[in-house]
Amino acid sequence: MGKSIRLKKGYDIKLLGEASKEISEIPVADIFAVKPTDYLSITPKLVVKEGDEVLAGSSLFFDKKRPEINFPSPVSGEVVEIVRGAKRKVLEIRILADKTSKYAKTPIPTKLEAQNIKDALLKGNLWSLLRQRPFSIIPSIEEQPKAIFVSTFDTAPLAPDLSFVIEQNKIAFDKGLAVLSELSSGNLEVGTEAGSSLSLSAGTQNEFSGPHPSGNVGVQIHHVSPIKAGETIWYLDAQDVIILGEFFNSGEYHAERLVPITGSEVSTPSYIKAKVGQSLTKLFSEQVSESNVRFIQGNVLSGAISHKEDFLSFYTSQLTVIPEGNKAEFLGWLLPSAKKLSLSRTYFSWLMPNKKYDVDTNTHGEERAFVMSGQYEKVLPMNIMPVQLLKAIIAGDIEKMEALGIYEIAEEDLALCEFVCTSKIEVQKIVREGLDLMRTEG
């Protein structure tokens, strides 16, 4: 047993549209799409062209700067279209899927050792399951992390119940943890929710309690093994541990995830079994009747804006649909209301802590002067000074950014700060700009 940590700062946003624990399998789509833009800081170089036949798990492209890292196809079939944007940037590789998928087979070593595991992941084109802090990017194969982290619970609004997801795939999850324990030379840290009955096959169990963002892997790293300059920690989502375990059990890339479709605009919020790259058009059409809505891949705090004709992104483990807030509101916050959510006592929501809300995307104002209000510090359970750090990023002061802890954070860790900000500062955008600057210039 590792540490038991109680976090007091943070906030649980309770929204309507939680997914029931029912799993439905949506029909296999004809067209799948792999999006190189899902992966941060890579320059894709295609290894396929239109008309090529591919297997599930075979390479579609590699990173031009690190050619040993390839990216897999989730299904077998024919590459039917390469969608390009400005300056011929590759946006999507579309594949007409076979009715029954055929898999590329990767030899799995009988004895699991760190180098053997690395070799298998590279041959199987699955190195992209791993991500690293700092920077939240795919790690280099030469680096040796001081630890690997996995969080087994998610506290974001309407997030998937990862205990439920793991229960459905316990054998593969246990195998994945065993592999990661060897890959990390025994330094595997697994975050569990206080009171969880989840049993672990490997790793040190660290227990966390408290509101969101206690489930964020970045917050857990900060309290268990803070990152200093020159250090690297790798991490995976729990669903990626399952894919990893399945790969080391079968030698095949099975790209399935259990994804909850959530939000107040969804007719029957529930879990779907979908493949990476799955077309979302039919799912959204069946589940959403309103037209003025926001489709999100991820949660409402840190997810990416999507659309009805989109495809499931590589790291997406949740879909959310909420109303758009593109309408004017007479007198705005001046009118008292019990229907609005507020962390301050501007509205009466503080009298009803368990009430669930139907929020939209309206920010109720535009960006204004950055003020020291103490709002960020109330919801960020990390020992850093967020406002000073953000100002250092805006000023491009690399030394201050490093001293104030930029290696500790990623966008999702400060998403609540953006939510509570009365100045409407785009906190997550600033954090990403700072991380990119540190990576290229630091």
pLDDT of residue 288: 95
**pLDDT value for 263:** 97
- Return the pLDDT at 332: 60
CA 320, CA 300: separation in Å to the nearest integer? 7
Q: Exposed (0-12), middle (13-18) or buried (19+): which is 230, by Cβ within 10 Å? A: exposed
pLDDT at position 290: 86
Q: 151: which strand partners?
A: 191
Q: What is the pLDDT of residue 346?
A: 66
Consecutive sets of 10 residues in the chain, 442 residues long: mean pLDDT of each? 94 96 85 97 96 98 97 98 96 96 96 95 98 96 95 98 97 98 97 94 96 98 94 97 98 97 96 95 92 96 96 97 80 61 67 77 77 88 96 96 96 95 93 95 71
Question: Can you tell me the distance from the alpha carbon of 110 to that of 104, in angstroms, rounded to the nearest whole number?
Answer: 19
Sorted by where each starts, the structural domains of the chain and their CATH numbers stand as 4-13+107-250 (no CATH), 31-97 (2.40.50), 363-441 (no CATH)
Give the dihedral sign, CA 368/374/378/382.
positive
Cβ neighbours of residue 103 closer than 8 Å, sequence gap 6 or more: 55, 56, 57, 76, 252, 253, 254
**Which pair of structure tokens corresponds to residue 332?**
């705005």
Q: Please name the amino acid found at residue 298.
A: G
The answer to pTM > 0.85 is yes
3-state DSSP assignment of residue 283: helix
pLDDT score recorded for residue 331: 57
